[in-house]
Structure 1
């Protein structure tokens, strides 16, 4: 077992790394909080915007996969990669052309994602309980994610238009808050 000497702790606390990294993390946390508030205030626009971003990501992935397919050697590899690229491209185009139908599909995908993110955050929170005194906020964020994921499934498809934007906003808001408080708690622990 390795022990840390007191002078090493002082060097870590007084180094520039402890101030530079938390400043970036604080900036990201504040940005997440602001984006969360905007998404909560305008849930329909947040739903459509997130769907369009999702569609464009698929279009970009499809084009990239098609280009990659033509660079592959061997007919079997090219055909498989080309089919995959065309599927990505088609899915992206369908979502961008009709974002309201895309919202329905994305609602299910995000419901599952938020649910799984919540499970992972709960697991990480229990691991961090010895490291950070503010681990409880991460735990609460994870539990809220699990509840939101279940709520999405139970209200589908009726609440899809406003639900996805609101949940993204609430999730961003809570994630920003726990990130903001987690770093302040770790700094106090180091000091």
Structure 2
């Protein structure tokens, strides 16, 4: 009787693996979804940039390039502020649902980085840059879950990672901090006029 139960269970497991095709191997969709987390976790900024900005369009804009690279003369070098932030990040692909991928993102809390920088008196750009790097390294961490809509048809994976939710999460809300600083400056100038 015991042999019969083991045989039935073995057959059921075999059938389930054959039907779903998922025993012992990741689905192609899961592999694609994990790539983005790996790009962040492994510091593969070039690959992440391609995902976020449609294959490197940022390389044409040297003003924005400064955020990615400290040395705009050497475009192959990714050592800018964003690269420094991403080095502090941890991204985990949590779950794939019907039409969204859930990522758990832990990143430094940079929601007031620019406001705090404006309180300082820097002698030069190097001091300001050093302040930003130290701020990033010492910032407390936030952990949030973001949803990325995706499609997967005919073995072709497509997802838009350039949306605010994902970009803000991996940059620790630095972009929001920058936008708030600009708004504050506009309000100050409006009051003065």
TM-score where L is the length of structure 2: 0.24
Give the structure with the higher percent strand. Answer: 2
* Higher-helix-fraction structure: 1
**Which has the bigger relative contact order, CA under 8 A and spacing at least 6?**
1
- Which structure: larger Rg? 2
